């Protein structure tokens, strides 16, 4: 098992909450991490029809079978359990008694909010980060390989090529989950919708245009996008809300959280094709944003990431708060540093004034260095978690 950075967060929360919930996309390694972190606890998967029937039919007796607690996998499949869990943990008052995992935010988070509020510590687990892969000696050799392969554990734990694994993943998990949640009958339209979303990764979301291109209604497009978000496949990055004397864009930007999945959906079938692909810049931006999201989730924190763009098109790709100040990050896929790249960060610094920290530029080259106006990081610096 490749060690997961989120392990420390999981164990920390288990010392302070009676229930710990571990959620994230399918095949991100949730079960492996939960079983490794809590090896002494019994493991129960509610994907097993017999165990699911037992839990749904007699939730109290089901929980009584685990007097010392348990790891319960895919717990959102049995909503009946949550109210009984509340009574159990309130009565026992033991920290880390139950560990719940789930791959659909809808089912898991709604039940936690309703029945277990204040009793649950939450960790969101995404596919491997670059720092996790580097620590295990399994990081891709170059940037194009990193963009093509993504971070799903199966591509590093097994002898599998992305072109063999991603089609099965989409058919087995993505489409199945969506069919379960929305009972979609237009499977062809949904497949086209997912690919159209991949073609828009790193761009401002125009939901009406997306719906029109897919031949579906605006309402349907919003529902399907919500499911992709709930399944941890995409993330909508909100614009920063503080107005620095400019009219700001209020539309979110769309990002795929695993760049390898986005690349496969775009029809990219080998790493070499990425060098000249028209969407290489958007994929690199998705890759960097995904790494920042992983760093925060692994620490047990909300992402709290933003972008900034005014009505004239001036933009900062990524913003996050550090105390009462703001860290701006520009993302450039080029391998050679461009002399004009700091212009956007300089403009941002003038707008933000005293709120601005020294901006960062993360690019596709190999060398990190400092300029008077900004700090420049190679993409490889993501393996050292520069945002931590």
Which pLDDT tens digit goes with each residue over 25-72? Answer: 989 999 999 999 999 999 999 999 999 999 999 999 999 999 999 999
Q: What is the 3-state secondary structure (H, E, C) of 281-344?
A: HHHHHHHHHHHHHHHHHHCCCCCCCEEEEECCCCEEEEEEEECCEEEEEEEECCCCCCCCCHHH
Place of tokens 């610094």: 349
Which pLDDT tens digit goes with each residue over 168-203? Answer: 998 887 767 666 666 666 777 888 899 999 999 999
DSSP H helices in 93-200: 105-115, 130-135, 143-149, 154-157, 162-169, 175-182, 187-199
CA distance 320 to 189: 36
| Domains along the chain with CATH numbers | 6-124 (3.40.50.300), 130-236+252-277 (no CATH)
Mean pLDDT over all residues of the chain?
91
Which pLDDT tens digit goes with each residue over 210-229? Answer: 999 999 999 999 988 988 89
Closest Cα to residue 343, out of 324, 364, 333, 328? 328
Task: Examine the pLDDT at 386 and tell me if it is beyond 50.
Answer: no
DSSP assignment, residue 125? Answer: -
DSSP assignment, residue 349? Answer: H
| Alpha-carbon distances, residue 329 vs 135, 188, 358 (angstroms) | 24, 38, 9
CA distance 139 to 195: 27
Residue 45 main-chain phi, psi, to 5 deg: -110, 120
């Amino acid at each position: 098992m490749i060690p997961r950075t989120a392990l420390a967060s999981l164990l920390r929360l288990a010392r302070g909450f009676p229930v710990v919930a571990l959620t994230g996309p399918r095949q991100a390694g949730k079960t492996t991490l939960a079983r490794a972190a809590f090896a002494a606890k019994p493991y129960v998967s509610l994907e097993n029809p017999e165990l699911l029937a037992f839990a749904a039919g007699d939730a109290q007796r089901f929980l009584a079978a685990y007097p010392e607690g348990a790891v319960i996998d895919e717990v959102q499949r049995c909503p009946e359990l949550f109210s009984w869990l509340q009574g159990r943990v309130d009565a026992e008052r033991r920290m880390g008694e139950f560990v719940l995992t789930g791959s659909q935010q809808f089912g898991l988070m709604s039940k936690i909010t309703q029945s277990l509020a204040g009793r649950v510590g939450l960790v969101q687990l995404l596919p491997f980060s670059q720092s996790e892969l580097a620590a295990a000696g399994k990081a891709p050799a170059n940037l194009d390989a990193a963009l093509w392969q993504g971070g799903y554990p199966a591509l590093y734990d097994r002898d599998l090529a992305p072109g063999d694994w991603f089609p099965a993943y989409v058919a087995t998990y993505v489409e199945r989950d969506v069919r379960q949640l929305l009972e979609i009958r237009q499977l062809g339209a949904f497949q086209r919708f997912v690919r159209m979303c991949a073609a828009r990764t790193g761009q401002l979301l125009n939901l009406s245009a997306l719906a029109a291109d897919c031949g579906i209604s605006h309402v349907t497009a919003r529902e399907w996008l919500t499911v992709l978000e709930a399944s941890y496949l995409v993330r909508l990055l909100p614009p920063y809300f503080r107005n620095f004397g400019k009219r700001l864009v209020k539309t979110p930007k769309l990002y795929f959280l695993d760049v390898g999945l986005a690349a496969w959906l775009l029809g990219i079938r080998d790493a070499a094709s990425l060098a000249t692909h028209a969407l290489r810049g958007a994929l690199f931006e998705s890759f960097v944003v995904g790494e920042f999201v992983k760093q925060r989730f692994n620490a047990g924190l909300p992402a709290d990431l933003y972008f900034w763009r005014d009505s004239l098109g001036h933009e900062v790709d990524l913003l996050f708060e550090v105390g009462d100040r703001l860290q701006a990050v520009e993302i450039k896929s080029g391998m050679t540093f461009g002399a004009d790249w700091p212009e956007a960060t300089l403009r941002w610094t003038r707008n933000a004034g005293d709120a601005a920290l020294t901006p960062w530029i993360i690019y596709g080259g190999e060398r990190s260095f400092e300029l008077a106006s900004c700090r420049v990081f190679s993409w490889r610096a993501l393996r050292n978690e520069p945002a931590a």
